[in-house]
Amino acid sequence: MGEALIKLSSTLTCPACGHAETLTMAVDSCQIRHECAACGAVMKPKAGDCCVFCSYGDVPCPPAQQSHGCCDHG
């Protein structure tokens, strides 16, 4: 039984304008803020999500993919 491959690319879709942008995710940390390249809206995680990729991406962040739970925001 091999370990599942972690996807490092996720497409964020802006909730304000619908612009989609594919980004590379960090393996060991969560991104808690992202500014839309099209309209400038600032995306932040929804309640209960650890990062913008878990809220607005088509692939959750690597720690969530590994079932390690949410990242520590400090």
pLDDT digits (tens, 9 = 90+) for 25-65: 988 778 999 999 999 999 999 999 989 999 999 999 988 88
CA nearest 63: which of 47, 51, 74?
51
Evaluate if residue 20 carries a pLDDT over 50. yes
pLDDT tier at 23 (50, 70, 90 boundaries)?
Answer: very high
Confidence (pTM) = 0.84
User: HSE-up of 17 (CA within 13 Å, CB side)?
Assistant: 12
pLDDT tier at 74 (50, 70, 90 boundaries)?
Answer: very low
